[in-house]
Amino acid sequence: MDYSNLKEANPWWEDKKWVYQDIHLAKLEKQEIKWDYQIIPELNQGIYSLRGPRQVGKTTWIKQKIKSLTESNNPKNIFFYSCDDIRNFEQLMELIGLFLELADTNKKKYIFLDEIPYVKDWQRGIKHLYDSGKLSKCTIILSGSHSMDIKKSIEQLPGRGDEGKRHFVMFPLTFSQYLKAVKKHIKLTNNFKKDVAIVKLNLRMLNKEYRNYLLTGGFLKIINEFFTTKEIADSSYDVYLKWVIGDLAKWDLRENFSKQIIRRIMESYTSELSWSSIKSGTDIDSHHTILKYVNAIEEMFVFNILYKMDFNKKVPDFPKSKKVYFSDPLILSACYKWVHSIENSFQEYKKYVDKKVDKLSEGVLLNHLINIVYKGIKSNIYDYKDIIYYWTNKSKTKEVDFVYKDIGFELKYQEKIRAEDYRTLKEFKKGFLITKKTFDSRTFPISAFLILLEKYPKRFLN
């Protein structure tokens, strides 16, 4: 293996001014709109994972963390490498071994391995180094835009560190975070009734920004572009799609099959689906292939899959139908361009948003529930599909969009709310109706609800 670029990947070893030349930090500095991600609060000895969609900012966060670490540690004890060009665990072992030879063995060492899932059998290399005693006094951060096996593999490793939370996800910005980033947030108190009154007074502004959020999603680069140029260039969608298509190829998944599946999900967005119903309208001959592709695309943080709730057991009913949502509005808009093969996609997508704002809002609501529930969980053992579901009764005369524990959330994005709109929520201990503009004790417009949910999670989720 050629190690000639090792110093180039770790310029802080010799150059104290490296931060001014680093491409990720330089791009961040040029952005007018920024966000300080608080992901892993403290790096103790052991192994951590950092996962999240492409282009969300994982590598930039790593470089920011490295910058902070170099201020109080020997820079030569901090190692970074992007694993895109490493093909097997033997190469990974050689790479880490060389760093350990150069580092100060008596001091704590930090190893950042970006896009680790692309190294075949990477866990074997890490285990071998650990068993040989070479990873003592080491903190290892493994990142990836494809979560396939990364969390499960770490849990099976010795010395991974059992205390505290070890697995972290970098989500796109929530609507509340978006408002703060673009300096449109409203100052709230710690009094719920007062804060409801405050969001009521600011509802017009919140609704305007919510539509903008449906256009940009929670990706900082896109948010900056939109607020600078008032649109999103086709090339910006293409950058994200290039990574997705590249990832599909690396996992031996056919681009055409993936595109057909995404098109079918868009055509039936927010509706119940089976693997066989997704297969209909494609030239894919097996629902097993559909299952393989949908799960793989979910692992790339493109989809969120939701299962129907077994009402009596309060668990997901996996054999039954499911729903598939996009994990962020930006990801949906990029896929919209891809499956329709259109130019000037931003203008077309704006029309799509205005026609489908109710369906897009359902996906946004789910994304926020997943994000906020995740933040409140301190355990390493967490999968949103085990605790968030949708529900319908057997006759399909009653339906609730989302259920967490015994709490229902139903979206009715419409001008007027009727008494019967609350009917299905009565099946649950507590329920909230999410609307277009109606307020009462259990009813909130979506732009207001997303803010209040994040501010008062215990009020809505307990």
Q: Is 169 left (phi over 0), alpha (psi -120 to 50) or beta?
A: beta
- Decide which of 140, 169, 198 is a domain's last residue: 169
**Amino acid 148: pLDDT:** 58
Return the axis-axis angle of helices 234-250 and 329-340, rounded to nearest 10°: 90
Q: Is residue 57 part of a domain?
A: yes
Separation CA 412–CA 359 (nearest Å): 10
If asked whether residues 152 and 216 sit together in one domain, one would say: no
Q: Which residues of the chain have pLDDT under 70?
A: 1-4, 147-152, 154-164, 381
Pair 143, 202 in one domain: no
Residues 310 and 454 in one domain: yes
**What pLDDT, on the 0 to 100 scale, is given for residue 382?**
75
pLDDT per residue over 412-460, tens digit each? 999 899 999 999 999 999 999 999 999 999 999 999 999 999 999 999 9
Half-sphere exposure of 217 (CA within 13 A, CB side): 27
DSSP 248-303: HHHTT--HHHHHHHHHHHHHTTTS-B-HHHHHTTSS---HHHHHHHHHHHHHTTSE
CB within 8 Å of 35: residues ≥ 6 apart? 57, 173, 177, 180, 181, 220
Token couple for 257: 């099959």
pLDDT of residue 443: 96
Please give the biggest Cα pair distance in the chain: 71
Task: Give how far Cα 66 sits from Cα of 40, 75, 376, 393, 462, Å.
Answer: 13, 9, 27, 52, 38
Do 95 and 234 share a domain, yes or no?
Answer: no
Do residues 63 and 89 both lie within one domain?
A: yes
pLDDT at 158: 58
Rg (CA), the chain: 23
CA–CA dist 370, 411 (Å, integer): 16
Concatenated DSSP letters of 43-93: --SEEEEEE--TTSSHHHHHHHHHHHHHTTS-GGGEEEEEGGG--BHHHHH
Q: How far is CA 180 from CA 186, 216, 259, in A?
A: 8, 15, 35
113 shares its domain with 154: yes
CA–CA gap between residue 4 and residue 18 (Å, rounded): 18
Residues 11, 40, 180: CA angle, nearest 5 degrees: 100
- Do residue 120 and residue 241 come from a single domain? no
For Cα atoms 172, 176, 177, give the angle at the middle one, nearest 5 degrees. Answer: 50
Measured CA to CA, the distance from residue 326 to residue 145 in angstroms comes to: 15
Amino acid 138: pLDDT: 93
Give the list of residues 6+ apart from residue 1 with CB closer than 8 angstroms, or none: 91, 94, 95
Q: Are residues 132 and 267 in the same domain?
A: no
Quick check: is 27 in a domain? Answer: yes
User: How many CA atoms are closer than 13 Å to the CA of 401, on its beta-carbon side?
Assistant: 26
- Dig out the tokens for 234 from the structure: 């086709």
157 and 179 together in one domain: no
Which pLDDT value is given to residue 156?
A: 65
- Domains: count for the chain: 2
* pLDDT for the residue 160: 57
How far apart, in whole angstroms, are the C-alpha atoms of residue 272 and residue 268?
A: 8
401: left (phi over 0), alpha (psi -120 to 50) or beta: alpha
Measured CA to CA, the distance from residue 337 to residue 207 in angstroms comes to 25
Looking at 152, 169, 186, the residue that finishes a domain is 169
Residue range of the domain that includes 232: 175-461
To the nearest 10°, the Cα dihedral for 378, 324, 271, 349? 110
217 is a domain residue: yes
Regarding beta strands 322-326 and 303-307, do their DSSP bridges make them parallel or antiparallel, or are they unpaired? antiparallel
State whether 142 and 256 are in the same domain: no
Q: Is there a domain that residue 1 lies in?
A: no
Give the pairing of strands 303-307 and 109-114.
Answer: unpaired
* Domain end point (choices 101, 135, 169): 169
Q: What is the pLDDT of residue 3?
A: 63
Distance set, CA 211 to CA 180, 278, 350, 356 (Å):
16, 29, 9, 12
Segment 36-76, tens digit of pLDDT: 998 888 898 888 989 999 899 999 999 999 999 999 999 99
For position 314, what pLDDT does the model report?
87
- CATH number for 115: 3.40.50.300
The reported pLDDT for the residue numbered 411 is 97
User: Do 17 and 67 fall within a single domain?
Assistant: yes
Residues 251, 331: one domain?
yes
